[in-house]
A and B are shown apart, each in its own frame.
Chain A
Amino acid sequence: MTAPSYTRADFQTDQEVRWCPGCGDYTILASMQQFLAGLGRSREEFVFISGIGCAARFPYYVETYGMHSIHGRAPAIATGVATTRPDLSVWVITGDGDGLSIGGNHLIHALRRNVDLKILLFNNQIYGLTKGQYSPTSEVGKTTKSTPFGSVDYPFNPISLALGAEATFVARTVDMDRNHTQAMLKAAYEHKGSAFIEIYQNCNVFNDKAFIDITGKEERIHNRIDLEQGKPIVFDEGSKAVVFRGGEAKIVDSSSVDPKAIHVHDETRQDSSVAFALSRLAHGPYGPTPIGIFRRVERPTYDAGVNAQVVEAKAKQGEGDLAKLLRSHGTWEVKPGSPNGGSAES
């Protein structure tokens, strides 16, 4: 069978896209459709599962199989799909409220199990669909409808959280950079197991310019730290570098250190502590912030394990025989016309 040839339009549905004009979700949707078209894999083999929130409308706009489910539960529902159908490519679309607040438990357990899911967390650091309350990634002090005197709630660092949850693939990208987004989607797609991508997504209505340090034309030159496999981590036109001191990642002037001391990025390290240290360079998109793949390691996937046990059981015990199962606790026979049986069969 030849690979199907698609254009972006083949992955667009007949539904009118209803996000606010200027929302970062449009760009992410376009990146995804472009990426899927370029893959050449049959449309029917993709499943998109989302929870609740602005981002969660995503499946309605992608011409594949999809489910817009309930708040926070997409990773659990997707686990049911992936575990029973390892032939499919299963994607989870979630947000900072959906994935880190109400659905935090499902997210960490899906990552821990390494279910073959691609989890995209659209982080806009605000509750958009409910019209502007602070989220678990909003910064301390943030003034919103629910925090008129400023938030006193300390935020998650989603990358640190995913690494702490034993995720085997952890990356970050930004909505506006379509090429980088598509590169991250491709790497996630190719990864066997749970792949977690945090996507900085601008909410121009309730939290505009939250990511300006990373996306602004001027600002990004100074603040965007691109993580590239096998390369020393330098940024700000080479003037800044990342080194490790006392187990911590530090930003220094490149000129102040021996070039050999500059940390060379290796996303394949089994131990996640270096990746974790890199995730701590910024606790949010403020100032210098790493973008790219933090961690990419191999570990057996949950769904493969479950299905291997079924195959193994069949090979060992033979295809299940229900009549035999019903007799497995021992039986006795009552003969016709006789008042009793009493002869043990097994």
Chain B
Amino acid sequence: MADEIATKDPSSTPTEKLDKLVIRFAGDSGDGMQLAGNRFTDASALFGNDLATLPSFPAEIRAPAGTLPGVSSFQLQIADFDILTAGDQPDCLVAMNPAALKKHFKDLRQGGTLIVNTDAFDERNLDKAGYDTNPLEDGSLEGYRVIEVQMDELTKEAVKDTGVSGRNVLRSKNFLALGLMAWLFHRPIEPTIEWVNKKFSKSPDVAAANIAAFQAGYTFGEATEATKTTFEVKPAVLPPGLYTNINGSAALAWGLIAASQKSGLPLFYGTYPITPASDILHELSRHKNFGVRTFQAEDEIAAVGSAVGAAFAGSLAVTGSSGPGIALKSEGISLCFMLELPMIVINVQRGGPSTGLPTKPEQSDLLFSLYGRHGESPIPVLAISSPSNAFEMAIEAARIAIRYMTPVLLLSDNGIANGSEPWLLPDLDAIEPIEAEFAMEPNGPDGSFLPYMRNVHTFARPWAVPGTPGLEHRIGGLEKEAITGNVSYDPANHQLMTDTRAWKVANIANDIPDIEVNGDTDADLLVLGWGSSFGSIRAGARRARLEGRKVATAHLHYLNPLPRNLGEVLNTYEKVLIPELNTGQLLKVIRAEFLLDVTGLNKVAGEPFKVAEIAEKIMEMTK
């Protein structure tokens, strides 16, 4: 079908060369904006741009059509250099209806390109979006480059011979928009056509309609005066190797599978559906040929319980959820800490408290992760910094859990889970194996087994799994006597065991990398971050440096224990800035741990930091 597509080269028209470009697709939840965004992303990735994406969708599956709450959007930034975020302000906005325009127009860069579906701008839709007058006619879009497209009509015309009918006709509208965007921004067309043919191989009429609409959009671009000037972003200079475009949920799932292979332990994932963690379950449940067992439990408590059981029985046990679900798992995590069994607990953070903003990013579960359990239960806490970093951190969480026989909390967030970026595929052979040894022989006098006799280096207890002859033993939530593991109410023993468990976790600091400082190490200001604000912080610092400011950055992947050199690093700088998508949680930890008067930059607006916000704060602090 590819030969039917217009093949005129857009670079034969006046072309503006850009080093980076931010595009946002916005429309009704049913308009297929996530799909359009993802296709544009893949085409850009295959073209060789560096990129980062930020999908944003309502919590409702189908909010009433045409309304503001029903608007779904997908933003991406493409560049010819290594970018770090999905961008602050779109250079180009696609608005499929008045509500999408109303919601997103304010973000469009002054003088930016606006593509609108004029067919959707009828009185009813204008009214639903809260417009008193039609913005296409009242002059409010002056100063912008507006490309008006009758998308409904063009789509109907394009698909009329493909066999689709009725409601299905206009479902190809997103491909029409995508075709126009492909023309306007010099995207390769083959990847999209190939994808459509593969995806809709069972419904050739739908495939044909989508391709016809895509082609019509492209042809419209060619033929229209308004789109005469096109834009080009050259491929980026990236380290050589094989790349794929990866989102955080898939990277995390693949990391868990890698950890299973590297440890030789079968992977068990016990979970309960919750946004935005469910995608990890969806991904893992497809890969049973890796020996993956997934369990969709009756509730969050059963999910963590099943993982504790699987850990006891010798699996690489993982449970995952989002804030409210983690709250329910809290008792089970404490049990696991007491039993000293390995388990990974994934928290894909979202806006809280309670149901909060279930589809928006936030970093507000840090203190909850560190302290949100009863009793003295200081478990290791790790945080992922970008979609592709999830792969590495999942393996690291497994390594620590198994080596130290402890539950490990791994923090992600909605931005990481749904965001995507190019990923240089790792050399799998270079990933260190994870040593997972089950106890096979008695370790006590007279052939007895002592389940709390510890490894002298790691202080981990032996992992003796059911089915091993001669090592029958009982463990439980009651305090245990050191070494024997028998129930003990002895005061001195409880002190000893509490201290031992805490020391075991604190000692992990000797087994994790030092924190690295990036940028101007001789600066007065250090910007310290954790989690998904990695990209915004790096990009903000980069922007401030372009303005002649000196600034250093450092990013924490280990929140408990903290890297050994952190205190020393912090004390090197006159000022420390901590940007977080919460009201100052790492800030509290740093103040408490190091008695330092550090500064916070805090935001809880259901969206990531804009690069400009970080840059401005750095400018202010480096005056």
**Which residues of B are found within 8 Å of A47, using beta-carbon distances?**
312-313, 466
B203: interface (CB < 8 Å): no
The answer for the CA separation of A306 and B477 in the assembled complex, in Å, is 29
B46 touches A340 (CB 8 A): no
B291: interface (CB < 8 Å): yes
**Which residues of A are found within 8 Å of B244, using beta-carbon distances?**
326-327, 329-332
Other-chain residue from A52, A76, A310 in contact with B291 (beta carbon distance below 8 A) = A310
A216–chain B nearest beta-carbon distance, Å: 35
Interface of A is mostly: mixed
Given A44-B471, A69-B308: A80 touches B317 (CB 8 Å cut-off): yes
In the complex, chain A residues 54-82 whose Cβ is within 8 Å of any chain B Cβ: 59-60, 63-70, 73, 75-82
The answer for the CA separation of A146 and B310 in the assembled complex, in Å, is 37
A3: interface (CB < 8 Å): no
A167–chain B nearest beta-carbon distance, Å: 15
B305 touches A76 (CB 8 A): yes
B301 touches A73 (CB 8 A): yes
Given A325-B254, A325-B257, A344-B46: A67 touches B474 (CB 8 Å cut-off): yes
B215–chain A nearest beta-carbon distance, Å: 20
**Which residues of A are found within 8 Å of B209, using beta-carbon distances?**
none
B474 touches A81 (CB 8 A): no
**Which residues of B are found within 8 Å of A312, using beta-carbon distances?**
288
> Smallest CB-CB separation from A72: which chain B residue?
B301
B472: interface (CB < 8 Å): yes
B468 touches A44 (CB 8 A): yes
A81 touches B309 (CB 8 A): yes
Other-chain residue from A43, A82, A84, A326 in contact with B472 (beta carbon distance below 8 A) = A43
Central interface residue in B48, B239, B478, by most chain A CB within 10 Å: B48
A88 touches B467 (CB 8 A): yes
A83 touches B268 (CB 8 A): yes
B339 touches A67 (CB 8 A): yes
Central interface residue in A73, A310, A316, A335, by most chain B CB within 10 Å: A73
**Which residues of A are found within 8 Å of B268, using beta-carbon distances?**
80, 83-84
B154–chain A nearest beta-carbon distance, Å: 28
In the complex, chain A residues 131-165 whose Cβ is within 8 Å of any chain B Cβ: none
Other-chain residue from B250, B290, B306, B473 in contact with A320 (beta carbon distance below 8 A) = B290
B18–chain A nearest beta-carbon distance, Å: 15
A282–chain B nearest beta-carbon distance, Å: 29
The answer for the CA separation of A320 and B254 in the assembled complex, in Å, is 11
The answer for the CA separation of A77 and B315 in the assembled complex, in Å, is 13
The answer for the CA separation of A78 and B597 in the assembled complex, in Å, is 49
The answer for the CA separation of A85 and B7 in the assembled complex, in Å, is 58
Given A44-B471, A318-B289: A334 touches B305 (CB 8 Å cut-off): no
B388–chain A nearest beta-carbon distance, Å: 11
Which of the 9-residue segments B107-115, B230-238, B365-373 touches chain A? B230-238
**Which residues of A are found within 8 Å of B48, using beta-carbon distances?**
332, 334, 340-342
In the complex, chain B residues 257-316 whose Cβ is within 8 Å of any chain A Cβ: 257-258, 261, 266, 268, 270, 287-293, 295, 297-299, 301-303, 305-315
A84 touches B313 (CB 8 A): yes
**Which residues of B are found within 8 Å of A218, using beta-carbon distances?**
none
Given A73-B305, A310-B288: A68 touches B477 (CB 8 Å cut-off): yes
> Smallest CB-CB separation from B466: which chain A residue?
A65
Other-chain residue from B188, B266, B309, B469 in contact with A80 (beta carbon distance below 8 A) = B309
Other-chain residue from A79, A313, A339 in contact with B289 (beta carbon distance below 8 A) = A313
B425: interface (CB < 8 Å): yes
B312 touches A333 (CB 8 A): no
The answer for the CA separation of A82 and B486 in the assembled complex, in Å, is 25
A68 touches B474 (CB 8 A): yes
The answer for the CA separation of A106 and B287 in the assembled complex, in Å, is 27
Interface size class of B (residues with CB under 8 A): 35 or more
B469 touches A42 (CB 8 A): yes
Other-chain residue from B46, B241, B299 in contact with A105 (beta carbon distance below 8 A) = B299
**Which residues of B are found within 8 Å of A318, using beta-carbon distances?**
289
B239 touches A334 (CB 8 A): yes
A334 touches B240 (CB 8 A): yes
A85 touches B472 (CB 8 A): no
A340 touches B310 (CB 8 A): no
**Which residues of B are found within 8 Å of A65, using beta-carbon distances?**
466-467, 472-474
Interface of B is mostly: mixed
**Which residues of B are found within 8 Å of A106, using beta-carbon distances?**
298, 301-302, 305
**Which residues of B are found within 8 Å of A13, using beta-carbon distances?**
474
Contact code string B542-561 (vs A, CB < 8 Å = 1, else 0): 00000000000000000000
**Which residues of B are found within 8 Å of A317, using beta-carbon distances?**
289
A83 touches B306 (CB 8 A): yes
A184: interface (CB < 8 Å): no
**Which residues of B are found within 8 Å of A88, using beta-carbon distances?**
313, 466-467
A253: interface (CB < 8 Å): no
Q: How many residues of A contact B (CB 8 A)?
A: 70
B243 touches A81 (CB 8 A): no
A323–chain B nearest beta-carbon distance, Å: 6
The answer for the CA separation of A322 and B298 in the assembled complex, in Å, is 31
A332 touches B243 (CB 8 A): yes
Contact code string B328-340 (vs A, CB < 8 Å = 1, else 0): 0001100100010
A77 touches B257 (CB 8 A): no
The answer for the CA separation of A331 and B241 in the assembled complex, in Å, is 10
A319 touches B313 (CB 8 A): no
A346–chain B nearest beta-carbon distance, Å: 9
**Which residues of A are found within 8 Å of B477, using beta-carbon distances?**
52, 68-70
> Smallest CB-CB separation from A44: which chain B residue?
B469
> Smallest CB-CB separation from A56: which chain B residue?
B476
**Which residues of A are found within 8 Å of B180, using beta-carbon distances?**
none
B293 touches A83 (CB 8 A): yes
B475: interface (CB < 8 Å): yes
Given A310-B291, A329-B245, A333-B241: A80 touches B258 (CB 8 Å cut-off): no
**Which residues of B are found within 8 Å of A60, using beta-carbon distances?**
474, 476, 487
A255: interface (CB < 8 Å): no
The answer for the CA separation of A80 and B313 in the assembled complex, in Å, is 8
**Which residues of B are found within 8 Å of A49, using beta-carbon distances?**
309
A79 touches B266 (CB 8 A): no
B592: interface (CB < 8 Å): no
B614: interface (CB < 8 Å): no
A311–chain B nearest beta-carbon distance, Å: 9
B312 touches A67 (CB 8 A): yes
A77 touches B241 (CB 8 A): no
Other-chain residue from A59, A87, A316 in contact with B474 (beta carbon distance below 8 A) = A59
**Which residues of A are found within 8 Å of B335, using beta-carbon distances?**
69-70
B470 touches A44 (CB 8 A): yes
B42: interface (CB < 8 Å): yes
A208: interface (CB < 8 Å): no
In the complex, chain A residues 81-105 whose Cβ is within 8 Å of any chain B Cβ: 81-85, 87-88, 105
> Smallest CB-CB separation from A109: which chain B residue?
B298
B170: interface (CB < 8 Å): no
The answer for the CA separation of A87 and B313 in the assembled complex, in Å, is 11
A320 touches B257 (CB 8 A): yes
B400: interface (CB < 8 Å): no
B331 touches A70 (CB 8 A): yes
Contact code string B450-480 (vs A, CB < 8 Å = 1, else 0): 0000000000000000111111111111100
B467 touches A81 (CB 8 A): no
The answer for the CA separation of A44 and B465 in the assembled complex, in Å, is 9
A90–chain B nearest beta-carbon distance, Å: 9
Q: Can you report 22 A-B residue pairs in the complex whose CB atoms are below 8 A from each other?
A: A42-B469, A44-B466, A60-B487, A67-B309, A67-B339, A69-B335, A73-B302, A75-B302, A76-B302, A80-B310, A81-B312, A109-B302, A310-B291, A325-B254, A326-B244, A326-B425, A327-B242, A331-B242, A332-B46, A332-B242, A333-B242, A342-B47
Q: Nearest 5 pairs between A and B by C-beta? A: A80-B309, A340-B235, A68-B476, A76-B305, A320-B290
List the interface of chain B (C-beta within 8 A of A).
42, 45-48, 188, 190-191, 234-246, 250, 254, 257-258, 261, 266, 268, 270, 287-293, 295, 297-299, 301-303, 305-315, 317, 331-332, 335, 339, 425-426, 428, 466-478, 486-487
Q: A44-B467, A69-B476, A329-B244 are in contact. List 9 more A-B contacts (CB 8 A).
A: A15-B486, A66-B474, A80-B311, A84-B309, A109-B302, A320-B290, A325-B257, A331-B243, A342-B46
